[in-house]
Structure 1
């Protein structure tokens, strides 16, 4: 069947079974009506081949581009002598209009040099009008479609290969980064353990003091390892949350007992503001203590001697909010988007630690359906709020 571009577009063919060939949709870009009728006849019902199809004919390049933009065709047959087709430049135009549709060019006479140039311009094949018969044309169309399919598959494979290589390179960089951080951060506690252990062996120190140093250093190393495992679980979506009822006051008291000694040692005043009434939360208490503890620990670390860190808890907007405020150095606006990047702290601030605390705190908040809010003014201080939604 042949239609012109002024006819109503035929609807897409319905799904077919293996017993019936799918009809091809052929866009014939041909200005000569007689040649168009001949070529269209090649795609009538043909018992010995599967290249039966519907042919839509246009006589101008602009019409061809418009139809390709609106409809899906299996192949384009393009007459190189089209008045406004601009010869081989027209091939590039058609390929640009529909990159996934193969183009087969048709010329008045056989010309090897022209055929090579046409293929270089993007055509899949070259036919000679009035010399190549229906069998040759159908064969060229079938192979053009198949070559285009293989080209798409090859390009898809190349894209996936590039993506896989990029992912592998990223993984290698992360691995090297992790190994570098682990070796750096574990060196201090392991060195302390080795020194204390040797002192115990040669009897050069107080055994109880040395044993305490070994225990503290072991706990330090275990915290580093736990942080790395937690980040891995968070990024894999495997962080487990075990909810239990607990008062927010009990959580803040645990945090006070954990951080009061380190705050005092740093010369920082740690204040826990008391709540007037009991606020109950249904959450993984250990994880909440870990997350808010990371915020408190960071606040102490980045607050100069003589400064102040406060921890307050309140209820509002159907959530319990743990607010950690400090009088530290603050965060530059350009660094705010990077706060929750892995290892950023260690790379950019020169402070101790692997820079995983905020990543873990954010993962724990999100694991509870919550979030972390940040406000900061350079030279004034920062406020981090762990927002824990109330459970119905």
Structure 2
């Protein structure tokens, strides 16, 4: 792989001593390291960073009016979550406290004055190369998300049409129809249905990534038993087709503060997984119970179980325990866990090989004060319901 081109990088030099700026500018310009901005005013440094979005900031710590620590905090606040814009601190303060505080405030590297020219150039190049690799990865991710969204969106309607029309034709076939025709139509219906669900998962992933991994929820008081019965009604035909029993085990009157449609979506993913991995004749139970200030909802199956070494990975996107399994893309649990997190809840798995798996998740009970993530900024929204 070729080294990143650093000549187009933008560097911001901040030091209240003009002689230091002259020295740094001479070193960096002589090495062909990008476009250089400089200022002796830390307040102006923040504004220059906002206007020019530099790839690297070289920052002194002790300046009049506004310290380098203040500049670090201001830079961190203007960056988007997950952004990587390195700051190299160059200071005459050799105390461990200064170093620890600077790194704690977001500096990526720290050198003391007087500095070695070769070492400065090496540190600057390393930080700029990391910045360029980060930008390349972000562009690749954004391109993938755009392609994913466009392709999935354009595939959804045709696949839905194929699924519905093949099902309609199946229902209108006479008993004397050819078994070959019936099997072929059934295969078309099942395969297109699987593809449709995959497209829905891909769209959910694209939406979540576009929102910084945070799902939107519309919280309202819901009857948990009714919600679980709704999910069972939707999923029962699929379970019956695999000759599986699908039960609901939840007390009447249990109420939660949740987005009902999102909870049903979580249950659809969890029950769908359970159906795939539970042998014919098995049982799947959708349950719920009060759990302190939450309602704990669970999906238990009598399937094959998950090996202990796989449990830490099950919520990762695109992860599958068996790479030869082509019944999905490994997105269901990742999407479900993001939806649960949007409620301020948590999700976990209990499993034993040969005995089955239970996936639990929590949502707030309907009579408590809850805080759930809202938006990309990670702010919290408080919702208070009556007891």
TM-score after normalising by structure 1:
0.53
- Shift in Å at residue 246 of structure 1? 1.7
User: Take 1:318 and 1:366, find their aligned partners in 2: how far apart are those partners?
Assistant: 16
Where does 1:266-285 land on structure 2 (aligned, <5 Å)?
A: 266-275=242-251, 277-285=252-260
Q: Where does 1:89-128 land on structure 2 (aligned, <5 Å)?
A: 101-102=113-114, 122=118
The alignment yields a C-alpha RMSD, in angstroms, of 4.7
* Residue 367 (structure 1) shift: 0.5
- Count of matched residue pairs: 260
Structure number, greater radius of gyration: 1
Matched, 1:234 2:208: yes
In structure 1, the partner of 2:229 is 253
Greater shift in the superposed pair: 154-163 or 253-262: 154-163
Q: Distance in 2 between matches of 1:355 and 1:282?
A: 28
Instruction: Give the Cα–Cα distance (whole angstroms) in 2 for the partners of residues 71 and 257 of structure 1.
Output: 63
Give the counterpart of 1:323 among 284, 287, 298.
Answer: 298
Once the two structures are overlaid, the 10-residue window that deviates more, 181-190 or 222-231, is 181-190
- Aligned twin of 1:158: 129
Pairing 1:28-47 to 2, within 5 Å after superposition? none
Work out whether residues 241 and 368 of structure 1, in 8 Å CA contact, stay in contact via their aligned partners in 2: yes
1:193–1:217 contact (8 Å) kept in structure 2: no
Instruction: Trace 1:126-165 onto structure 2 (pairs within 5 A).
Output: 148=120, 152-165=123-136
5+ long unaligned stretches in structure 1: 1-14, 25-66, 74-97, 105-118, 124-147, 200-204
Report if aligned partners of 1:185, 1:224 keep a CA contact under 8 Å in 2: no
TM-score w.r.t. the length of structure 2 is: 0.54
| More contact order relative to length (CA 8 Å, sep ≥ 6) | 2
Change (3 A) 1:22 1:314: same
Distance in 1 between residues matched to 2:142 and 2:269, nearest whole Å: 26
> Does residue 387 in structure 1 map to residue 376 in structure 2?
no
Q: Deviations over 1:262-304 (max 9, x none)?
A: 11211212121241x3011221100000101211121121100
Structure 2, unaligned runs of 5 or more: 1-14, 21-91, 99-109, 171-176, 369-387
Rounded Cα–Cα distance in structure 2 between residues aligned with 1:260 and 1:195: 20
The 1-side partners of 2:221 and 2:158 are apart by: 39
Match of 1:265 among 215, 227, 241: 241
Deviation at 1:163, TM superposition (A): 2.5
* 1:369 aligned counterpart, secondary structure: coil
1:224 maps to 198
Distance between the aligned counterparts of 2:168 and 2:243, measured in 1? Answer: 30
Q: What CA distance in whole angstroms lies between the structure 2 residues aligned with 1:187 and 1:386?
A: 34
- 1:172-194 Cα deviation digits (max 9, x unpaired): 78899999999999998787689
